[in-house]
Amino acid sequence: MHETTRLAGLIQERIADTIDRHRRALQPLGPDASPLLDEALTFLAGGKRFRAQFAALGYRAVRPLNLDERVGTELGAVLDAACGLELFHAAALIHDDVIDRSDTRRGRPSVHRLFEAGHRERHWRGASDHFGLAGAILLGDLLQSWADELLQAACDALPDRSAAARAREHFNRMRSEVAVGQYLDVLEEQIPGFAEHAEQLERSTRVLVYKSAKYSVEAPLLIGAALAGADEAQEDALASFGLPVGVAFQLRDDLLGVFGDAELTGKPIGDDLAEGKRTVLVTLTRERLPATQRRIFDDLLGTDLDREQVAILQRTIRESGAVERVEEMIARNVDRATGALQGAPVRAEAAAALSGLAERAARRSF
């Protein structure tokens, strides 16, 4: 636990330094640009930092890394990569919230809502919500560039060129897959009616794998490991561990999106239901519902729900047995992940830490 806290502190420092550096570089553009930089800093102060932790552990799976020493070239490179992942994630969330019309994030108004409110308070011209949209698109674009710069800095700092190239490959694949995965997720919500069960489950699972599981766990791990010069066997082992952890992570997210405590998740209760997300949880629920009940369920999903309607949907999901099934899937995936580390060619202390982090990712309540 000491290491998690220490890493979180180092990441926060480095993020603040990064934004400060950009603030200085952008000074010639005048003080009007400040809201972008201020919001970047505030937004990035939040979050669970799972990606940063997995990246650091991916590195430690291959090479020792002492978080307590002075930050030199090697630790600096790992921190840059980890911060790059956090910035990229922030960019993705800011754009996602526009796309999903989410009003809150991490317990605060989402970025487009913040820029919208600023516009309204100042009695500016034109539509406040459209200004909010513009601010969120541009801040997301900026953070995406800065994320890439950080990853680049990490790659440049290390002497092993082929290791750097591998890390870039994983980062690039991740970026493409998460954008397309998000597109497929949005697409699902547009198509009227559901596919028959087997196909729908396949579609929900595909979104889960590409939009979240690979992105949240497997890719950060592999980027960290590649930077440390991992060989193929090590990368394979970490992928075999990372993918099921990522699946468990997202299945937990699906449960939290329906049953989570708004105080802890920072998102309104039943958020996923109002958005009409076709998660694995929803797909498993529908499989077990009698036709009439399924029709009612389908009609409510993806509409503006009041508290009572959210409660009805929650009860339906629970009574269908889908919650237990998803909990079983989570447990099975964590077991599979832990199993993949048995006898794997990764450093023992890192394997232990990875198992612990897998548990935390799968059991979290926010």
* Number of shown-chain residues binding a copy of itself (CB under 8 A): 58
For residue 148, state whether it binds a copy of itself (rule: CB under 8 A): yes
The residue from 41, 179, 262, 300 that contacts a copy of itself (CB under 8 A) is 179
> Which part of the chain contacts a copy of itself (CB under 8 A), choosing from 146-154, 240-248, 277-285, 335-343?
146-154
Q: Does 248 bind a copy of itself (CB under 8 A)?
A: no
Q: Is 192 in the site for a copy of itself (CB under 8 A)?
A: yes
CB 281 within 8 A of CB 255: yes
Q: Does 2 bind a copy of itself (CB under 8 A)?
A: no
**What letters, b where the CB count within 10 A reaches 16 and e where it falls short, cover 303-312?**
eebeeeebeb
Smallest distance from a copy of itself to CB 286, Å: 16
Quick one: 206 or 318, whose CB is closer to a copy of itself? 206
For a copy of itself, which residue of 101, 295, 315, 332 counts as binding (CB under 8 A)? 101
Q: In the complex with a copy of itself, which residue's Cβ is closer, 161 or 197? A: 161
Query: Is residue 315 near a copy of itself by the rule CB under 8 A?
Result: no
CA-wise closest residue to 52 among 9, 94, 95 = 9
Residue 1 Cβ vs a copy of itself, minimum distance, rounded to whole Å? 35
Considering the complex, state which of residue 137 and residue 312 has its C-beta at the smaller distance from a copy of itself: 137
Binding mask 108-127 for a copy of itself (x = CB under 8 A): -----------x---xxxx-
What are the tokens at 277?
């997300």
Task: Decide if residue 277 touches a copy of itself (CB under 8 A).
Answer: no
Q: Which residues contact 362 (CB under 8 A, 6 or more apart)?
A: 245, 248, 249, 251, 252, 330, 333, 334
| Per-residue contact flags (x/-) with a copy of itself for residues 19 to 48, judged by CB under 8 A | ---x--xx--xx-xx--x------------
Which residues are at the interface with a copy of itself (CB under 8 A)? 22, 25-26, 29-30, 32-33, 36, 91-92, 95, 98-99, 101, 119, 123-126, 130-131, 133-135, 137-138, 140-142, 144-146, 148-149, 152, 156, 165, 168, 172-173, 175-177, 179-184, 186-187, 189-192, 206, 210, 302
